[in-house]
Amino acid sequence: MHDPRNRHMQAVDKILQYLKSSPGKGLLFKREDTLGMKIYTDADYAGSITDRKSTSGYCMFLGNSLVTWRSKKQDRVSRSSAEAEFRALAQGMCEGLWMEIILDDLKIKIDSPVQLYCDNKFAISIAHNPVQHDRTKHIEIDRHFIKDNLDRGFMITTHVPTGLQLADIFTKGLPQGRFQDLVSKLGMIDIHLPT
């Protein structure tokens, strides 16, 4: 906002065109017998051309219903894609813990450990490895936080192939076909389309 350019106006125009073309889109929540929590986390490594900070994104499902999502620029520059993904993993885990507190207040129990999906195998390896490496000292706090929650069995990490990573929609500019595919996988429907 402090230095608007023509490309910014073009991006705003595309967003407004999308919103105008989809007034009936929304989320449909269906009742389910079992309640599991799944969280997809992702990051775009050094995606900002201005300061080379990465953007983290996550989306959380209760059962098959999308209940929360977020995209946010990370507060510091990551030195590797694994570090950027690891920070996104920590943010997704914080969201899961927050949702657990809310559900507990409502006397709702989750049926199984939370599934935390990440498409970076090295970030998952760091989360499970109790040995401190020189190359991970700068993310030590996040590592201990994640390891503690994995050890207590609250969450389990699962590798998801990049092609199945739902959180991509929150961290990257995508081609229209991939964008539409992810929108449908997130559970968005259009009430104006015939059934």
Does 180 reside within a domain? Answer: yes
Does 28 reside within a domain? Answer: no
Which range marks the domain in which residue 142 is found?
Answer: 33-190
Q: Strands 114-118, 65-73: parallel, antiparallel or unpaired by DSSP?
A: unpaired
Residue 138: per-residue pLDDT: 61
pTM to 2 decimals? 0.84
How many domains, the chain? 1
Q: Which two tokens stand for residue 189?
A: 């429907």
Does 20 reside within a domain? Answer: no
Query: Residue 125 is part of a domain; what is its CATH number?
Result: 3.30.420.10
Residue 19: per-residue pLDDT: 87
No. of H helices and E strands in the chain?
6, 7
Does 51 reside within a domain? Answer: yes
Res 133 pLDDT > 70:
no
Please give the C-alpha separations between residue 130 and each of 41, 43, 82, 148, in angstroms, as whole numbers. 21, 23, 16, 10
Tens-place pLDDT, residues 19-73: 898 888 888 888 888 889 999 999 999 999 889 999 999 999 999 999 999 999 9
Does 39 reside within a domain? Answer: yes
What are the backbone dihedrals phi and psi of residue 7, each rounded to the nearest 5 degrees, phi first?
-65, -30
Does 74 reside within a domain? Answer: yes
**Are 155 and 148 in contact, with CB atoms under 8 Å apart?**
no
Does 138 reside within a domain? Answer: yes
Q: How many CB atoms lie within 10 A of CB 59?
A: 26
Does 9 reside within a domain? Answer: no
Residue 132: per-residue pLDDT: 52
- 111 vs 44, residue with greater confidence: 44
Q: How many CB atoms lie within 10 A of CB 87?
A: 21
